[in-house]
């Protein structure tokens, strides 16, 4: 009887000892997790529990001078991202396969992103809603919601494609202005990016509105140009015709300004390019050999195509200034348009000790009216006319 009691006591004591050891081990383990791994685990949990996604603002619209014709506009599209850590291991291949099929992407590349150890991966940018709706249906049918995000985004469209392309310019994949007006006035057009910061549970599902931070995007402002779409179209049409007819290998420009205000009503360049497809070269010969070019040559050719030659290249006004001299003389009543033989071209004229020739110095124009002199672009006549204006102290 006594010996069994002792045995029982012994058993109890050893049980207590084992429990004590286990307790100590647990306390050490908790201490280790809390104090040694604490901060690392906390940041891992934060990464898993929060989804930090950008909301792109709507970029401002660019109008022509009437305020009615839209030259550049942002339309709603959607961008798909994944949070790899929130997609269950057994679902990864399935998700990658669906994303690749719906958006026509390379399965291996998508799978790599889905398996990556990062908080967010972009799968596809700026797709039309009809495609993302397919994804929504697939997610519902397969009961997979966690880890796949479909966010609103915007895409730039240029309704008139080539019209005023060298003036307007275009935007990059992050809606930033890269060329022309789009780049110059980027800070006005771009707006402010918003943010969705959400707390989620271990599966990536939303934890209600608690812990949700939604910073709304601020849309960009609109721009109204002095360019009039109708005048611009006409200028481009005739510029193209003139360049083709006269085989202008360097292309050409037309600038049309309102003389009263100086507003630029049209700024046409030829050749121009398609704003909706700005990386497609407009030169036929180059496009044939495009794939064989080095990246440096490609970039140089594109820069050349995008450049707004009307403002970036220099050009001597030369004979175009004869219009100013003519207008001044007519306004002051110094001459008339058709006084036959009023001026004389002898092939050259001396002014300030320099002999300036007429382009047809070898067979001078002889007697000229103002109209004839303008038609013939005769230098001596206009130098003479300018002296006449000057003698009246008008210039
Ligand atoms: Zn002449």
pLDDT digits (tens, 9 = 90+) for 251-262: 999 999 998 999
- Spatial CB neighbours of 253, under 8 Å, sequence gap ≥ 6: 239, 267, 268, 269, 270, 309, 310
Q: How much distance in Å is there from the Cα of 349 to the middle of ligand 1?
A: 10
Is residue 47 in a domain? Answer: no
Q: In the listed set 276, 310, 344, which residue is the last one of a domain according to the structure?
A: 310
Is residue 45 in a domain? Answer: no
Residues 237 and 97 in one domain: no
Q: How much distance in Å is there from the Cα of 169 to the middle of ligand 1?
A: 43
Residues 379 and 249 in one domain: no
DSSP state of 222: P
When mean pLDDT is compared across 5-9, 109-113, 254-258, the lowest value belongs to 5-9
Across 135-158, average pLDDT: 89
Residues 213 and 123 in one domain: yes
Confidence of residue 199 (pLDDT cuts 50, 70, 90): low
* Residues 241 and 230 sit within 8 Å (Cβ to Cβ): no
Is residue 46 in a domain? Answer: no
pLDDT at 158: 96
Q: How much distance in Å is there from the Cα of 335 to the middle of ligand 1?
A: 18
Is residue 42 in a domain? Answer: no
Residues 173 and 294 in one domain: no
CA distance 296 to 282: 17
Q: How much distance in Å is there from the Cα of 257 to the middle of ligand 1?
A: 29
Q: How much distance in Å is there from the Cα of 268 to the middle of ligand 1?
A: 31
Q: How much distance in Å is there from the Cα of 310 to the middle of ligand 1?
A: 30
Q: How much distance in Å is there from the Cα of 243 to the middle of ligand 1?
A: 26
Residues 56 and 76 in one domain: yes
The torsion angles phi and psi of 192, rounded to 5 degrees, stand at -120, 135
Range of the domain at 8: 2-36
374: left (phi > 0), else alpha (psi -120 to 50), else beta?
A: alpha
Is residue 109 in a domain? Answer: yes
Q: How much distance in Å is there from the Cα of 253 to the middle of ligand 1?
A: 27
When mean pLDDT is compared across 146-155, 339-348, 361-370, the lowest value belongs to 146-155
Judge whether residue 5 has pLDDT over 90. Answer: no
Judge whether residue 42 has pLDDT over 80. Answer: no
DSSP state of 171: B
In this structure, what CATH number is given to the domain that contains residue 85? 3.90.1310.10
Residues 76 and 28 in one domain: no
Q: In the listed set 284, 310, 336, which residue is the last one of a domain according to the structure?
A: 310
CA distance 13 to 6: 10
Residues 9 and 57 in one domain: no
The token duo for 96 is: 């990658």
Residues 220 and 362 in one domain: no
Residues 24 and 155 in one domain: no
Confidence of residue 135 (pLDDT cuts 50, 70, 90): very high
Q: How much distance in Å is there from the Cα of 385 to the middle of ligand 1?
A: 13
Residues 69 and 206 in one domain: yes
CA distance 28 to 150: 44
Confidence of residue 9 (pLDDT cuts 50, 70, 90): confident
Through-space distance between the first and last CA atoms of the chain, rounded to whole angstroms = 138
Is residue 44 in a domain? Answer: no
Task: List CB-based neighbours of ion ligand 1 within 5 Å.
Answer: 345, 358, 365, 378
- Spatial CB neighbours of 180, under 8 Å, sequence gap ≥ 6: 165, 166, 167, 168, 169, 170, 306, 308
Q: How much distance in Å is there from the Cα of 362 to the middle of ligand 1?
A: 10
Residues 73 and 175 in one domain: yes
Q: Could you tell me the CA-to-CA distances from 196 to 53, 139, 206, 238 in Å, in that order?
A: 5, 21, 12, 51
Q: How much distance in Å is there from the Cα of 77 to the middle of ligand 1?
A: 62
Is residue 43 in a domain? Answer: no
Is residue 269 in a domain? Answer: yes
Residues 134 and 20 in one domain: no
Number of domains in the chain: 4
Judge whether residue 51 has pLDDT over 90. Answer: no
Q: How much distance in Å is there from the Cα of 382 to the middle of ligand 1?
A: 9
Q: How much distance in Å is there from the Cα of 342 to the middle of ligand 1?
A: 13
Confidence of residue 227 (pLDDT cuts 50, 70, 90): very high
Q: How much distance in Å is there from the Cα of 251 to the middle of ligand 1?
A: 28
Q: In the listed set 289, 310, 331, which residue is the last one of a domain according to the structure?
A: 310
The token duo for 223 is: 């721009």
Q: How much distance in Å is there from the Cα of 238 to the middle of ligand 1?
A: 28
């Amino acid at each position: 009887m006594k010996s069994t009691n002792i045995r029982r006591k012994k058993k109890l004591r050893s049980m207590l000892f084992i429990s004590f050891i286990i307790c100590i081990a647990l306390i050490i383990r908790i201490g280790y997790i809390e104090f040694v791994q604490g901060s690392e685990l906390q940041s891992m949990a934060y990464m898993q529990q929060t989804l930090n996604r950008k909301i792109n603002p709507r970029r401002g619209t660019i109008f022509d001078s009437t305020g009615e014709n839209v030259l550049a506009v942002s339309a709603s599209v959607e961008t798909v991202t994944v949070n790899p850590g929130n997609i269950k291991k057994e679902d990864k291949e399935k998700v990658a396969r669906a994303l690749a099929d719906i958006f026509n992407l390379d399965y291996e590349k998508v799978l790599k992103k889905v398996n990556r150890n990062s908080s967010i991966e972009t799968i596809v940018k700026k797709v039309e809603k009809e495609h993302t709706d397919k994804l929504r249906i697939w997610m519902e049918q397969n009961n997979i919601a966690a880890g796949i995000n479909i966010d609103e985004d915007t895409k730039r469209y240029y309704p008139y494609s080539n019209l005023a392309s060298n003036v307007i310019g275009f935007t990059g994949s992050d809606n930033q202005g890269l060329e022309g007006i789009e780049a110059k006035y980027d800070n006005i057009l771009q707006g402010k990016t918003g943010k969705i910061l959400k707390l989620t549970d271990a599966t990536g599902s939303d934890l209600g509105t608690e812990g949700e931070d939604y910073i709304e995007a601020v849309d960009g402002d609109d721009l109204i140009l002095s360019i009039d779409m109708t005048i611009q179209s006409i200028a481009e049409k005739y510029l193209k015709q003139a360049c083709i007819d006269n085989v202008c290998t360097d292309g050409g420009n037309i600038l049309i300004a309102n003389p009263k205000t100086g507003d630029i009503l049209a700024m046409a360049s030829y050749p121009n390019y398609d704003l909706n497809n700005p990386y497609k070269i407009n030169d036929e010969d180059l496009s044939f050999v495009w794939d064989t070019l080095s990246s440096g040559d490609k970039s140089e050719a594109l820069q050349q195509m995008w450049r707004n030659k009307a403002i970036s290249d220099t050009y001597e006004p030369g004979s175009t200034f004869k219009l100013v001299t003519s207008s001044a003389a007519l306004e002051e009543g110094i001459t008339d348009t058709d006084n036959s033989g009023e001026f004389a071209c002898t092939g050259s004229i001396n002014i300030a000790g320099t002999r300036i020739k007429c382009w047809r110095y070898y067979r001078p124009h002889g007697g000229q009216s103002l109209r004839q002199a303008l038609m013939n672009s005769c230098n001596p006549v206009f130098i003479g006319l300018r002296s006449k204006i000057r003698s009246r102290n008008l210039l």
